[in-house]
Amino acid sequence: MRVTSNVRVPDMSPLDLSDRRLDLDERFDEGIVDESVWWPFYLPHWSSRERTAARSTAGPEGLELRIDVDTPPWAPDVDGDVRVSHLQTGQWSGPVGSAIGQHRFREGLVVREAQPERRLWLPRFGVIEVRMAAIRHPDAMVALWPIGFEEQPDDCGEICIAEIFGADIDDDGGWVGVGVKAHSDPRLSTDFERIRVDGDLTDFHEYAVEWTPERLRFFVDHRWVKTVAQTIDYPVQLMLDVFELPRADGSRDLAALPHRFRVQRVRCYAP
C-alpha cells in the first residue's frame, strides 16, 4: 500500500547567491548618503521633511543612523513621542489635506507636506540583504522592512526582513521579527513571527529575503529561518531605520543617547 501526503515541506536550504546578478551593492563608503538611491526622510508627507530628516554619517565602515538627544518626535500628533532616523528608496504623496500617501499606518492620516515623486530603487522579486548590527537598549528598535511603492492603494504590503527590539536582546542572542505584514492589502494575510537567533545581535549579521512570484524565504547569516507561502507582486521601496520608542512615563534615557544603528551594506540581487 502506498501512502501519500499533501503536507508541504518548506525548502530549508541555505541562501545561495553564487549564480545571482548583483544589481545594488550599497556600502555607504564614499562619505555621503547617495540620494540617487536613498530619500533621507521618514514618511514626510504625514509630517514634514524638517521633522523627519535622517541623522547619519557614512564612511569606510558603512552607515550610521542616529537618534540624538535633540531628535524630535517625527509626527507627535499621530505617533506620539516616537523618534526615528531613516532612509527609504521611494516617495510620493497626494496634495496637502488629502489622505493620499504611502504607508497609511493608522486611520485619519492627512498629508501635511506634499512630497515629490521619487522612484529611486524599487525592486520586484530577487534577493534583498542587509548586514547590520542591532542596539541593545530597551527603547531602541532597528529594522529593514520594504513596503509597496503603492502605485495602487492596495499595493501596500510589507516584507519585514528584520525587526529587532533592543528589549528582545540578551546575553545569548535575541529575537528577530521576520515575515509579511498585509497592512491594507486585501490579497495578503499577515504571516509574521519572531525567530530566536543565537549570538551577539549587536555585532554584524546578515538578514535577507529570497522573493519569488510564489513565496518568500527569510534568512539570517544565509541560514533559512522562515518561509511565507504567499508573495507580493508589485515594486517595493526599501525602509531602513532606527526608532526610539516612548516610555509609558514619558521619560527618555538621555545618558544612553545617541542610539547608533550601524549598517555595513545593503545588497539587491536580480530575480
Give, for all 271 residues of the chain, the pLDDT tens digit.
Answer: 343 334 466 789 999 999 999 999 999 999 999 999 999 999 999 999 999 999 999 999 999 999 999 999 999 999 999 999 999 999 999 999 999 999 999 999 999 999 999 999 999 999 999 999 999 999 999 999 999 999 999 999 999 999 999 999 999 999 999 999 999 999 999 999 999 999 999 999 999 999 999 999 999 999 999 999 999 999 999 999 999 999 999 999 999 999 999 999 999 999 9
Residue 5 lies in a domain: no
pLDDT of residue 10: 76
Three cell numbers, residue 197: 537567533
- Structural domain including 92 reads 22-269
Grid cell locating 26: 550599497
Smallest CA-to-CA distance from 67 within 245, 254, 244 is with 244
State the pLDDT at residue 2. 42
Cβ-contact 29, 58 below 8 angstroms: yes
Look at residue 64 and tell me if it is in a domain: yes
Q: Is residue 17 part of a domain?
A: no
| CATH value at residue 94 | 2.60.120.200
- Phi and psi, residue 18, nearest 5°: -65, -30
Question: How confident is the model at residue 11, as a pLDDT?
Answer: 86
For residues 170-182, one letter each, b for 16 or more C-beta atoms within 10 angstroms of the residue's C-beta and e for the rest, the string is eeeebbbbbbbbb
Per-residue confidence (pLDDT) for residue 8, from 0 to 100: 62
User: Is residue 265 situated within a structural domain?
Assistant: yes
pLDDT at 66: 99
* Domain total in the chain: 1
Nearest to 143 by CA among 41, 42, 267, 240: 240
Is residue 125 a part of any domain in this protein?
Answer: yes
How much is the pLDDT for 253?
Answer: 98
In 61-172, the DSSP E strands lie at 62-67, 83-88, 90-91, 118-119, 126-133, 140-144, 147-148, 158-165
Dist. CA 187–CA 207, nearest whole Å? 26
Asked whether residue 8 is domain-assigned, the answer is no
Whose cell is 541562501? That residue is: 15
Residue 192 in any domain: the answer is yes
Strands 259-269 and 126-133: antiparallel
Residue 10 lies in a domain: no
